[in-house]
Structure 1
Amino acid sequence: MKEKNDKLVYQHFLDESFEDLYEHAPCGYFSSLPDGTIVKLNTTLAQWLGYHKTEILHQKRFQELLPIGGKIFYETHHAPLIRMQGSVNELSYDLVSKSGALLPVLINSSHVTDAEGKVVLYRSTLVNISDRKKYEAELLQAKKKAEQAAKTKAEFLSTVSHEIRTPMNAIIGVANLLQATDPSPRQLEYLRILKLSSENLLNLINDILDFNKIESGKISLEERPFNIRELLQHLIYNLLPKAEEKEITLTHEIDARLPSFLLGDPVKLIQVLTNLIGNAIKFTHTGSVTLRVQAIEVTSKDVVLEFKVSDTGIGIAADKIHKIFEEFSQADYEINLKYGGTGLGLAISKKLLALYNATLQVESELGKGSSFSFALKLPISDFQPESQQLVDLPHSHPGSLRGIKLLLAEDNSVNIFILSQYLKSWEVAFDVAEDGSEAIEKIRQHTYDLVLMDLQMPKLNGYDATRMVRNLPDEKFKKLPIIALSASSKFDLQQRLDYAGITDFIGKPFNPRDLYNKIALYSTATPQQAGNTSGSFSVETSILPPTDPSWHVNLNEFRKLTRHDTTQLTELIRLSIENFTSFQQNFKEALYTRDILLFEEVAHKSKMTLRSLEATRLSQLLDRATDLLQSGEQDTSMLAVASREISQEIDVIITELIAQIPDQPGNIS
């Protein structure tokens, strides 16, 4: 008898424990009927909401504890989902407490059925995520602050870069001009030191800017065809003078099995190899520097290449090797004092190779030299780009640009002087405008083959001046090549350049050869046409034949979808405008980075909307731009034109959609 009583007491104790656990658990619990009426809840949930249990039990449905958005979600997603699969997990809701405050929770629910399988009850568990939301808000705020700090740093570096590059343009430009004036041997030595110091300072600026772009995630890989052999030969040719100055040998050994054309990012590959070979030359006093490129594995689709730069230089001590890849640091303090530099070259190279999932390896022995190597797997391309016959060595062909007439829009007197000397030596006829307004007036009054447009000018800057030129009524102003001149980085300005309608870009300090080639490429009177100022421009101004549709969108399909209801039509138009705004930015980014996957993904997303709106012109532009990307188009001006035309067409569509938003609620006829 006593044993039976003990069992009853024990069972009663367990029941009380389970009940206490249910009532005061750290989670909220409730049970509800299929219509949402709450028939049981624990004390924890009641306290969270600020209600007495009797105010909720059999008095409120779960939906009544939700704000309007939560109610819609419950009816459209929560209820159908639990009916279909019997349970739902971790749905996020805000519950409305008695005081009106919102309580963020995660809900897990499952149904209970009777013997016939009919749902009779829902049981739900709630987790209070107020602290999580608070932490998320704090993290978001911290993220915004970090992003703002990074943006401020990037803007500061861009500004400082511009301010330093402007006087550097004058120093390097005048040094180049003085070399052509038959200086004495002593003057030549002074000029050599001046140019070397200026170029070192410019390299330092470029290293800091490159590192900042990588750190801020603004650099990504391109994939386009390039001739690997030609690329390596040009690299060695450009670095050979530095090696000859130090009387060391610079050689390269290229595996005969290398395919001619590969798919990849030649600019970043050259940047890495230039850093490695430049360092090797810098730290080698006698002996040689060698670049070896070996095909480790070759298939019909791709090739694995090993790049190795070896030297007979000063080498690196074993206990110092780990330091050379750190930002702003070198192997030791004495090396920094003796050789200078930012200590960023290897750090930048390592980060660029990381984009390819490649690792930079080093082998070195103090006093005996170093060897840096990395392996890349690159797809093989059968694409054969047409080579553009650009002219070389501008000073060796004085007068070869005779017959070209251009406008130089520049406000800096030193820059005007330097540019004028080169233009005169090439026998280019030119006028000068010292601000944007004067440039527009001269373009209206005279016929030019192209315009060199400084971006930072008083009264009216180069961007606004270019936009105003493009909006002039005569079609020739839309075709006029306008080349930007700026001490800022092209990467930082790309969107503004595209929006303004600028054809191409030359950075300051400029390379005379680059300037010469740009003028030859974009002018009507090329070296083969000297003296002839007639004919059409060599620049593509449109990626499609001109059309003049009376409308760009048709809302008939939208009206059918919304059954002529004004409110729903307005909402659909607003959603379409938001989507087009997003598409516009994505298309610009994809074309600038040559990211065909991103472009095709966004184009696919927009296809249904374009078909519904009968936006034929935009569809054709997207198809043409896709063809350009798939063909490996090398001409950046063509992609810039595509970006500009797509953006302009989207602007027109958005304008028409805004104009057709109904003014009054109700039905439309």
Structure 2
Amino acid sequence: MSSAEALGRLKQAAFDAAPLATAIFRNEHAGGLVFIEGNKEFDALLRGIPSTDSGAALSHMVAATVSTTSEPQTITLQLGDHQGAYRLRARTFSSPGDPGEYLVAQLRALTDQESTERDLHSTIQQLKDLLDNSTALMYIKDLDGRYIIVNDYFARRFGMNTESIIGLTDHDLFAGPIADVYRENDNMVIRTCDSIEVEEPLAIMGDRTDPDEDSRWLSIKFPLIGDSGRPYALGAISTDITDRKRAERAARDAMHEAERANRSKSEFLSRMSHELRTPLNAILGFAQLLQDLPLSPRAAESAGHILDAGNHLLSLVNEVLDITWIEAGAPGMATAPVRAIEAIHQALELIRPLAAAQDIEIASDLHGALHRYILADTQRLRQVFLNLLGNAVKFNRAQGAVRVWCELREGSLRFLITDTGPGMSEDDVQRLFTPFVRLAKDADIEGSGLGLALSRRLVEEMGGVLGIEHTAPGEGSTFFVEMPLGPEPKDEVPATESGIGTVVIPGGAEATILHIEDTYANIRLVENIITGMGDLNLVSATSGRSGIALARQISPQLILLDVNLADMSGVEVVKQLQKDERTRRIPVIVLSADATPARIKELRGIGIRDYLTKPFEIHHFALTVRNALAVP
């Protein structure tokens, strides 16, 4: 064997003994790299590719990425069924006597750590443009909490440059308690391999004091997962939501202040209602008693004026209280399927005497409401119809007319009320439903300007609509109330018959009534009414405690109770009476100037017999008392 052959074999042995996959290529420039030869490690690397294609495949892959410098490059090669990351180092050389240019390339598979570092570097490079153009903090930390990358906004926000932040931790930058929060949230993401969205305290670089509770970041933190399936870093986006938090706090404070103001207003109006109703009870009550006495014509006329003025004031108090009740959400109002004809029929029966007194004809055709049911609160709907019918009579011309009828609509029933009054202009219509606003031409007619506004609110609370179908100067007005249709109730309660009957105590025996009231005028009024009823004894107590003691002592057949006593509330009186075996079965009728639905519901809920609102109508009071006494 010649020395040249021996040297060639030695070179080949050395080539094959190289620990890295090594290959030689000829650089054809325009034709690219042409595979010449590879060592054993290289052959092992290419086992997944058919031998005829291996050189060409690798030549193409290497040519696409290789540089003819000595600087190593990291590449990903798809070799048959295997994909892997490799460190590629390539260098050019020439052979003596051969003008061609050659290239030797070595490939080394990356370790897990090197692969992770490569993944991280790739991620950083891909995100950098996005990070630097964001108006939120965007950053990546390693598993030890050191900042690997921060965007330009992060650096500007804290008055530093990005290079000076890299390698630092939150504890190097922020106050300890704040840094602890950040680190705890980071650890949760790394431990669970799951992203989180969390509010975090906002800190200012170098500020060692706690920020106010509204200074917050909204941080989205997520793990960066490597090929091994384990997190190798943590990414995060933090947005300053301080302005939003302060706006939310301001909105909450405003809402709480509005609720407080509304409660204060409701309490004030409730108290004022009570204070007004208490003397009105005496005024109207004694005026009714006067009318039952033989009076001179002048005295009878005076008593009538007292009743008219008192009733007008009472109507105003009721309307203000109803407006307040609706503003509080109309607690206690419950709509249910009711007879469509009931409320309008009752309102017509009550309004006909007023119309007859003013020579106003009322014509009604309610066939459209027969055998139909609507979703409503009958008492409140009757109140609405009374207001509309009352207006149609009051604001009508002499010897005018009111027409009432119904129209069936899709899913609803419309009630229409037409008058022959003066009608209204478009400007008047725009102001008609504004509380306390009265039209100029109505100045001589009694009213508060609340009725229509209240009626519309009541109808809307019941799911209906109240409006004007037609009006014009000289053409009268047509109002409508449209209510949703409802199903026929399974257990229908028979319609209430109008009129008031008389109930007599069985056997005509005397009964004792205990009246607990601390206002002298109201005590005297009830005494006069009970005296006029006959066969009844009345005992009065001016405080809750003395009333309870008397009830235990005399065992009355009925207790009349005021709610707002000086020493204790009527609610507490009822509860104490119900705890005592001697008094728990005695029926209690509450006589109160507190007409708020919440208080009425509260008292009815604890088992009272009835609730009469002051001022009460004497005939109705007497009937309620006799009904309570007639029940065993």
Fold shared, TM-score > 0.5 on shorter chain: yes
Task: Return the match for 1:343 from 449, 457, 477.
Answer: 449
Alpha-carbon contact 2:609-2:628 (below 8 Å) kept: no
Post-superposition Cα deviations, 1:16-70, rounded to whole Å, max 9, x if no partner, equal 9x97995695421221346866533346547768997368449789998768888
- Asked if 1:330 corresponds to 2:438, the answer is yes
Question: Please, which of 351, 360, 365 is the counterpart of residue 239 of structure 1?
Answer: 351
Q: Deviations over 1:523-574 (max 9, x none)?
A: 3x34xxxxxxxx5xxxxxxxxxxxxxxxxxxxxxxxxxxxxxxxxxxxxxxx
**Matched position secondary structure for 1:379:** coil
Q: 1:57 to 1:307 in 2, by over 3 A?
A: same
Which residue does 1:310 correspond to in 2? 418
* CA–CA distance in structure 2, aligned partners of residues 81 and 279 of structure 1: 72
Counterpart CA distance in 2 for 1:318 and 1:514 is 43
**Counterpart in 2 of 1:288?**
401
Return 229-238 or 58-67, whichever deviates more: 58-67
| 2:544 is the alignment partner of 1:431 | no
Q: Structure 1 CA distance, aligned partners of 2:180 and 2:129?
A: 34
Asked whether the 8 Å contact 2:423–2:472 carries over to 1, the reply is yes
**Partner Cα distance (2:168, 2:377) in 1:** 65
Distance 1:434 1:372, change over 3 A: same
Alpha-carbon separation, structure 1, partners of 2:312 and 2:431? 22
Question: Alpha-carbon deviation of 1:179?
Answer: 1.9
Q: Deviations over 1:459-510 (max 9, x none)?
A: 34423322322232x1x53333222221122324247536876453211001
Could you tell me which amino acid in structure 2 is paired with residue 504 of structure 1?
D
Aligned residue for 1:41?
150
Taking structure 1 as reference, are residues 63 and 33 closer, same or farther at Cα in structure 2, changes over 3 Å only? farther
| Equivalence map 1:618-629=2 (5 Å) | none
Counterpart CA distance in 2 for 1:494 and 1:68 is 55
Q: Could you tell me how far 1:176 is from its partner in structure 2?
A: 1.4
State the superposition RMSD in angstroms: 3.8
What is the identity, as a one-letter code, of the residue corresponding to 2:210?
Answer: A
Alpha-carbon shift at residue 380 of structure 1 (Å):
1.8
Note the C-alpha offset of 1:280. Answer: 1.0
Q: Structure 1 residue 73: deviation in Å?
A: 7.8
Matches of residues 489-504 of structure 1 in structure 2 within 5 Å? 489-494=595-600, 497=603, 502-504=608-610
Whether the 8 Å CA contact 2:342–2:495 is kept in 1: the answer is: no
1:136 counterpart = 2:248:
yes
Are the counterparts in 1 of residues 147 and 166 from structure 2 also a CA contact under 8 Å? no
Q: Residues of 2 paired with 1:357 and 1:112: CA distance? A: 58
Q: Which runs of 5+ in 2 are unaligned?
A: 1-123
For the residues of structure 1 that align with 2:292 and 2:314, how far apart are their CA atoms?
22
Asked whether the equivalents of residues 50 and 99 of structure 1 are also in contact (C-alpha less than 8 Å), the reply is no
Q: Does structure 2 retain, via aligned residues, the 8 Å contact 1:311–1:371?
A: yes
Question: Could you say which residue in structure 1 is the equivalent of 2:475?
Answer: 368
Question: 1:232/1:402 Cα in 2 relative to 1: closer, same or farther (>3 Å)?
Answer: farther
- By how many angstroms is 1:338 displaced? 0.7
Distance 1:248 1:124, change over 3 A: same
Residue 231 of structure 1 deviates from its aligned partner by 2.9
What do the CA deviations read for 1:559-614 (whole angstroms, capped 9, x no partner)? xxxxxxxxxxxxxxxxxxxxxxxxxxxxxxxxxxxxxxxxxxxxxxxxxxxxxxxx
Distance 1:40 1:47 in 2: 14
Q: Secondary structure of 2:407's partner?
A: strand
State which drifts further: 225-234 or 404-413: 225-234
CA distance 1:507–1:450, change in 2 (3 Å): same
Equivalent pair of 1:261/1:383 in contact (CA under 8 Å): no
8 Å contact kept, 1:105–1:127: yes
Equivalences, count: 496
The within-5 A match list for 1:503-542 is 503-523=609-629, 525-526=630-631, 535=632
CA-CA distance at 1:423 after TM superposition: 2.0
Equivalent of 1:155, from 267, 284, 289? 267
The answer (yes or no) to whether the contact 2:389–2:417 under 8 Å persists in 1 is: yes
Measured against aligned partners, the alpha-carbon deviations of 1:51-102 in whole angstroms (never above 9, x if no partner) come to: 97368449789998768888888888x779872xxx55x5433356662424
Structure-1 residue corresponding to 2:302:
190
Unaligned runs of 5+ in 1: 1-14, 298-302, 527-534, 536-669
CA 288–191 in structure 1, closer or farther in 2 if over 3 Å, else same: farther
Instruction: Tell me the residue number matched to 1:448.
Output: 556
CA gap 1:207/1:24 in 2 versus in 1, 3 angstroms: same
Distance 1:309 1:50, change over 3 A: same
Q: How far apart, CA to CA, are the structure 1 residues paired with 2:525 and 2:388? A: 33
Contact 1:470 1:501 in 2 (8 A): no
Q: How does 1:380-399 map to 2 (within 5 A)?
A: 380-386=487-493, 393=500
Change (3 A) 1:389 1:212: closer
Q: Percent identity?
A: 25
The separation in 2 between residues aligned to 1:81 and 1:360, in whole angstroms, is 61
CA distance in 1, matches of 2:624, 2:244: 57
For 1:309, the aligned partner's letter is I
- Which residue identity is paired with 1:343? G
CA distance in 2, matches of 1:38, 1:219: 58
Partner of 1:229: 341
User: Which digits, 9 at most, give the CA deviation of each residue in 1:431-455, with x for residues without a partner?
Assistant: 2112112211111112222211012
Aligned to 1:92: 199
Where 2:274 maps in the other structure, the secondary structure is helix
> Would you say the 8 A contact 2:387–2:455 is kept in 1?
yes
Shift of 1:416: 1.7
Shift of 1:201: 1.2
1:99 is matched by which residue type in structure 2?
R
- 1:465 and 2:573 matched: yes
CA contact (8 A) 1:397 1:426 kept: no
Instruction: Tell me if 1:415 matches 2:505.
Output: no
Aligned residue among 197, 200, 212 for 2:324: 212
Number of the residue aligned with 2:136: 27
How far off its partner does 1:257 sit? 5.7
TM-superposed deviation, 1:409: 0.9
Cα 1:31–1:268 change in 2 (3 A) is: farther
Aligned to 2:17: none
* Per-residue deviation, 1:274: 1.7
SS at match of 2:269: helix
Question: Tell me, what secondary structure is at the counterpart of 2:362?
Answer: strand
The amino acid of 2:617's aligned partner reads N
The residue aligned with 2:286 is 174
1:505-526 CA-to-partner distances (Å, cap 9, x unmatched) read: 2110012344234334433x34
**Greater helix fraction, Structure 1 or Structure 2:** 1
Assess, with a 3 A threshold, how the Cα gap between structure 1 residues 314 and 458 changes in structure 2: closer, same or farther: same
Shift of 1:139: 2.7
* Secondary structure, aligned partner of 2:414: strand
Q: Distance in 1 between matches of 2:369 and 2:627?
A: 34
Equivalent runs, 1:580-599 vs 2, <5 Å: none
String of CA shifts for 1:620-641, please: whole Å, max 9, x gaps: xxxxxxxxxxxxxxxxxxxxxx
CA shift for structure 1 position 373: 0.8
- Mapped pair 1:354 → 2:460: yes
Shift of 1:271: 2.2
Q: Return closer, same or farther for 1:57/1:324 CA change in 2, 3 Å cut-off.
A: same
Counterpart contact for 1:37–1:62, Cα < 8 Å: no
Higher alpha-carbon deviation: 341-350 or 249-258: 249-258
* Conservation of the 8 A alpha-carbon contact between 2:145 and 2:170: no
3-state SS of 1:488 partner:
coil
The one-letter amino acid of 1:295's match is L
| Partner Cα distance (2:439, 2:449) in 1 | 9
Point out the structure with the larger strand share. 2
Deviation of the 1:155 alpha carbon? 1.9
Confirm or deny that 1:479 pairs with 2:550: no
- Using the alignment, how far apart are the partners of 2:396 and 2:474 within structure 1? 10
Contact 2:600–2:611 (CA under 8 A) maintained in structure 1: no
Q: Distance in 2 between matches of 1:82 and 1:350?
A: 58
* Alpha-carbon distance in structure 1 between the residues aligned to 2:621 and 2:187: 66
Kept in 2: contact 1:225–1:383 (CA 8 A):
no
Confirm whether residue 264 of structure 1 aligns to residue 380 of structure 2. no
Which residue matches 2:364?
Answer: 252
